[in-house]
Structure 1
Amino acid sequence: MQQDAYGSGSDVLSGFDWVFNDSVDDVLPYVDAVMAPTGSNYDGLRPSGLNIEQIPSLNRATPGLEGSVGSNNPFTPSEEPENSRVSVPEDRWPMEWHAVPAQLSSLPPLGQPGQLPTYSRHFELSPISASTREGILSSIRQSMQGSPWQAVSLSGFPSEATLDRCIDMYFAHFHKNVPIIHRPTFDPSKDHALTLAMAAIGVCYTGLFGAISFSNALSELTRRLLMFLAEFDPRFVRTGNFVAAQLLQSIHGFSSGSKRLYELSESSRSTLINNARNMGIFEHRTRSCSVQGTLQQQWAAWIYEERMRRVAWALYLHDASSTYTRNAKPYISLMDIRAMDLPCSTEHWESDTPQAWAALHPWSRSIPPNVKYNEALESILQKQRQSEVAIFDDYQKHILLATTMRLLWETMELEFSAGGSLINDHGGLSERRKLLHAAILQFSTPLTTSSMVQGEADFEAKVQLSRLAQYAFVIDADDLINYTHLVWRGSPTSGPARKVLLEWGAKNPRKVRQVARAAAFVLNTTRQFPYNHHLEAHHAFHAGFLVWSMIPLLRSLQDPMLANSLPDQQLPSPHGVCQLDCLASDDPVEGERVAQWVERGGSCVLRMHAVPDVLSEEGSQQILQQTADILKRMPVWGIAQVFRNAVLRALQANEQ
């Protein structure tokens, strides 16, 4: 077979279909389809009538990274019994698999003998007493009565000490990214479903043997309990605790590594948001705090209002992340949130006592002031100065950045969707994209060694914001992501998609270089600064994939015959080495060299960490190997190992 620009006549990523397919392992306990040999039949079902050559340009109409990933297997690849591994071919295209009852008969083991030493907690929290634990068990048993699911043995339910450890780890590691629970006043006995949802996430950070498998099983029990409570009293659906528990379930499902939980998270996203919308959570909340009340009463009233506001914003951020993690349309309208206030400062939310809270705003006897969302967003979009961004709290910055990226995504969708050719003002859309992109880049700050010592929490926030801001280059690259996904899926879509990508790259060389640079930056930050964020594995996986996808386009741009016909390609004689993934902070000379290459192109040797020459014959394989190595070092979330298995399969296919 004739070789193409991607280096091989065969589909290098033909073994990646599991990302988009659901397999029969959902009906077979302990089957790990992702461990099946590369030689297995992974062709799956393909959509009929798809002819990419008839599409004149990159088109956003193609679905993005949507579907179920992972496995319903209660064991992870590293914990699964050797004699239970069965090779099962993938035989479902996205959303075409038939749902089956979960085969959960008992909780998988958590921890090994002697693996539960004395644990020193991070925070002083209300402990889970024996009566609270028994109440949680009673709620779970009650949800099983008369349900269509088989009974689940709860003999492996964790002890009070283990549950305390899970909740403490939730607050120590996950809470900073989704700060919706008021830690100083949290009481695990108040809402059993919410406590279970928090424990299902917290257990992932404990390091106990079988933590991921146990987390997935506990999430399944939580889901059943929520469904029972909703059926028992429909009014409970429109409460803050119910929506918060559902949100945590959805966030967990997308990163758990379980196909079933991933599918449930995506299919229930619209229901979750609809429940929140119906309870009025996105409306501007009337302040109920009274100056005449005692300090304790003011604090309690403020906590309620602020918590509801934070749940609303966490829902918004979760929904907005669907654009850059799965290329899926968000469900929350920007009109829904237009009148909301931004969350208060992190210092106010983390204050342990009413006195500590009040001391942060001594000039007022009332509640702390809030920043208007609309005013904050307009200040970012209109003035575009870093000083404007600096006035906001890190969590507030995250909201503003996510909104700006979403506006950019919607602009791209409008311009490149079916019917986009009918838009007369393409120049106006292009100007809007430039404005949004300039606003987004305000959030990308230098990740210098000196900034690390200023504060670990502050530096982590800088990393997360800078990493997210780099994705703007991917969103801004027309509808590139849809065609790279078609290459990803393999035959019969890959050949025509590659042709379209090469033609697009020839017309947009600067965007090709921007995407390659941005993806390399993201991959390097996940390698150097991992924080076990629930979307971190998604970032690493997609960054590695995008660098791999850009290699053939960059090779074509290095061709003198082609480059001389392009307006921004001067192609001088080779001028040394360009570090594609440099952070451009501690080495400003290297950063300037990369910036010049992105702007003007030219012939040079592109290198990355562990990749001496990105465009060499070995470059593609080394990129995939580095991506697999990074994912291997992400032990908390199961999706990392699922992604890694896919990358390893691609490496095996490339070697054959």
Structure 2
Amino acid sequence: MNVLEKYDPELRQSMALLHKARDEIALSQPQDVASLRVNTEPMRLRLQAMPSSKQVEAQSCTTKTIDGFDLEMIWYEPLDRASDPHSSAVLHIHGGGLITYDVYAYRAIVSDLVARSQILMLSVNYRLAPENPFPTPLEDCWTALLWLHHNSERLGVDQSRIQVYGDSAGGGLAAALSILARDRCLTPPLAKQVLIYPMLDDRTSMQATNIDLLPLATAVHRWFLSRAERDPRQVRTGTYITAQLLHAIHGFSCGSKRFYEIAERDRSCLINNARCAGLFARQNGECPPGASLDLRWRTWLRAESLKRLAWAVYDHDAASATMRDDRPFISLNEIKMELPSRTSLWEAETAEAWAAILRHGKDGALREWDFGTCLDGLLGNADETIASLEQDFQTSLLLHTLARMMWTHKEMTTQPGAKHLASYLPVQQGEDDLLHLVDRLAHSRRLSVSITMAPSKFATCIHQLCICQLTHIIAGEDMWDYLHLIWRKHPQAEAARTHILSFIRRRPQATRAFQVANARLLSIIRLHPSNHPQEPYNTFHAGMAVWVMATLMRQQETAVAHGPARPNKPPCHIDWFGEDDDPESSNLREWLEHGSRRRTPRMHGVPDLTAHDGPELVLRQTVEVLGRMSVWGVAKTLLNATLRVLHSL
């Protein structure tokens, strides 16, 4: 049976023309843009020759783009349109792989849509690539959207009912335009987006979508992928870097080993793109004198969005030290931008609301706080700086900065030959200062944690407490570098065990402090789960650390025991987290100083950490916490790894 016989009789004639043109393209096997355009020209001409609906009037119009180009558009409206000043309208964006076709090839299609739906449509003849690289096509669509907004009253269009519509490459541009309209605070926002087989994912295979236009799609695919590599402007934009960042976060936490490797491989690429785009420099959000309120607000929004993107990239890079015990790529010396502005300003939905928040601020002006100045003040005058912090995001960034500074200190003091350097003792003293500062920052956040907080604010405060504990864990010399060798049963596991036992003998109090930090981290996550992408890693590493250290500490204390132990030793909850004047804090300090000879260490689900089954119960608690995590796929991977260790005991 002929494939055309499946179609409705009204469509057979048009589909016969399309199939003929498709077959011509498939036979020609175009390998470059010029050849592809030559071979798609017959199809374009056939589409253009299709009759337009006689029930629709089409009017050509033009508008100037920001670079002075005369942008062509076609306005469609039904001839028998009812008089309605609040009609909906659609901005139509044509397909063609970004490199072929135009609005004239779609006249029949668009006019038919208007006739059937009675909805007004504006079709934009955006400039094609590769002659006009990204973001020119998208900016042309934005210009057309603004034209539709500005002329809405004359056209009888309700601005709150404007939609975008596109197929194939037009669908991809429509999706990008929706995001752009959101980021540029289009008011009122778009009512809807309609995406017809949109070109969104460069990994989509033709077999997966069951489309037989393989030669055409392959040529477009190859061009699209190679374009970004040849043109740096493709990868030095806020939208591209945002996509890279989201891909990296997902790659590290989705549970796929392949995606994890790609995310780690591309981390340096992400940092380099952000660096070359100038994100780490000061963002200019100033307007000329006399600028309108709306212009000042939108200019500030654009600068603030780039600033927040830069800090998100920085935060992701800094987390490599606490999440994977890896070196951050960004140097603190290259961070020249200010800290993010107040959240209330960022969340203001109108220029008037933004201005009102400014007027009722502390000084009635927009405060820009330089990162270097803030960090210098934090290290020099902590009380005043901590009191001046205006929002949780600023605190999180500073905590992550102190954590990565601790990682750098750890590397300086544990590398071979470090003890012979004159800087060894001062650097160790610097570690103590950093820990004291982190504790003060965390204490200020702990006092403000309340169940009446908004969920997002509460989760942020909890994450800050986790960063504090992670910083204490990093301060435990190079324990993290050796723990994984033991639970993985690495060939160097015995050497790692010997190294850790040496640390336990040399620094018993530091060993117990290391245990407390890990136990507290596990407790915080158990009590206050937040679905943070780092949460599964924190749970797994903390649980494994407590298990390994409890096992080895038990062996060491048994080997060096002298004199009778205190009978009926009172318990000490090493995962307890509270005020310094609480009796439990006194118990914890006694255990940190004297060890298990005075107190019986315990934690949630583990009555006695020094008992024979104590380490095993720690693993079971880790399994329980990981088992409740369902958002990030890596939680299941780490759960299975913990179960393997547990079953091998």
TM-score, normalization by structure 2: 0.65
Moved more, 630-639 or 287-296: 287-296
After superposition, the CA RMSD in angstroms is 3.6
The residue type paired with residue 552 of structure 1 is: T
| Residue 544 (structure 1) aligned with residue 543 (structure 2) | yes
Match for 2:628 among 605, 619, 633? 633
Query: Secondary structure in 2 aligned to 1:464?
Result: helix
Moved more, 370-379 or 579-588: 579-588
Q: CA deviation at 1:464?
A: 1.1
Contact 2:359–2:365, Cα closer than 8 Å, also in 1: no
Aligned ranges for residues 480-629 of structure 1 at < 5 Å? 480-556=479-555, 558-559=557-558, 561=560, 575-585=569-579, 588-603=582-597, 604-629=599-624
Task: Describe the shift of the 1:454–1:262 C-alpha distance in structure 2 as closer, same or farther (beyond 3 A).
Answer: closer
Aligned ranges for residues 113-132 of structure 1 at < 5 Å? 131=165
| Residue 347 (structure 1) aligned with residue 344 (structure 2) | yes
| Residue 247 (structure 1) aligned with residue 245 (structure 2) | yes
Aligned ranges for residues 8-407 of structure 1 at < 5 Å? 131=165, 227=225, 230-231=228-229, 233-337=231-335, 339-362=336-359, 368-385=366-383, 388-389=386-387, 391-407=389-405
| 1:46 alignment counterpart | none
Q: CA deviation at 1:137?
A: 5.7
The CA distance in 2 between the partners of 1:409 and 1:190, in whole Å, is 48
Structure 1 or 2: more helix by fraction: 2
Post-superposition CA distance 1:95-151 (Å, at most 9, x none): xxxxxxxxxxxxxxxxxxxxxxxxxxxxxxx999672685576579xxxxxxxxxxx
Q: CA deviation at 1:261?
A: 1.0
Query: Secondary structure in 2 aligned to 1:335?
Result: helix
The CA distance in 2 between the partners of 1:191 and 1:303, in whole Å, is 28
The residue type paired with residue 322 of structure 2 is: Y
The CA distance in 2 between the partners of 1:272 and 1:191, in whole Å, is 29
Contact 1:389–1:443, Cα closer than 8 Å, also in 2: no
Task: Describe the shift of the 1:233–1:427 C-alpha distance in structure 2 as closer, same or farther (beyond 3 A).
Answer: closer
User: Bigger relative contact order, structure 1 or 2, given CA contacts below 8 A and separation 6+?
Assistant: 1
Structure 1 or 2: more strand by fraction: 2
The residue type paired with residue 522 of structure 2 is: L
Task: Describe the shift of the 1:235–1:458 C-alpha distance in structure 2 as closer, same or farther (beyond 3 A).
Answer: closer
Q: CA deviation at 1:575?
A: 2.9
Post-superposition CA distance 1:546-595 (Å, at most 9, x none): 1112102331453373578xxxxx97555311112112259922233113
| Residue 465 (structure 1) aligned with residue 499 (structure 2) | no
Post-superposition CA distance 1:289-346 (Å, at most 9, x none): 3342111111111111111111111111100110111111111111110x22101011
The residue type paired with residue 241 of structure 1 is: T
Post-superposition CA distance 1:477-506 (Å, at most 9, x none): 111111112212214211111011111111
The CA distance in 2 between the partners of 1:327 and 1:425, in whole Å, is 23
Query: Secondary structure in 2 aligned to 1:360?
Result: helix
The CA distance in 1 between the partners of 2:337 and 2:448, in whole Å, is 37
Task: Describe the shift of the 1:607–1:127 C-alpha distance in structure 2 as closer, same or farther (beyond 3 A).
Answer: farther
Task: Describe the shift of the 1:184–1:536 C-alpha distance in structure 2 as closer, same or farther (beyond 3 A).
Answer: farther
Aligned residues: 461
The CA distance in 2 between the partners of 1:427 and 1:571, in whole Å, is 36
Query: Secondary structure in 2 aligned to 1:282?
Result: coil
Unaligned stretches of 5+ residues in structure 2 = 1-159, 202-220
The CA distance in 2 between the partners of 1:537 and 1:524, in whole Å, is 13
Larger radius of gyration: 2
Q: CA deviation at 1:389?
A: 4.8
Task: Describe the shift of the 1:526–1:319 C-alpha distance in structure 2 as closer, same or farther (beyond 3 A).
Answer: same
Task: Describe the shift of the 1:195–1:252 C-alpha distance in structure 2 as closer, same or farther (beyond 3 A).
Answer: farther
Contact 1:512–1:553, Cα closer than 8 Å, also in 2: no
Unaligned stretches of 5+ residues in structure 1 = 1-125, 141-159, 168-179, 198-222, 565-569
Contact 2:469–2:517, Cα closer than 8 Å, also in 1: yes
The CA distance in 2 between the partners of 1:452 and 1:347, in whole Å, is 21
The residue type paired with residue 286 of structure 1 is: N
Moved more, 457-466 or 536-545: 457-466
The CA distance in 1 between the partners of 2:623 and 2:357, in whole Å, is 46
Post-superposition CA distance 1:587-614 (Å, at most 9, x none): 9222331133223424222211111122
| 1:649 alignment counterpart | 644
Moved more, 604-613 or 572-581: 572-581
Contact 2:399–2:441, Cα closer than 8 Å, also in 1: yes
The CA distance in 2 between the partners of 1:236 and 1:191, in whole Å, is 23
The CA distance in 2 between the partners of 1:593 and 1:376, in whole Å, is 37
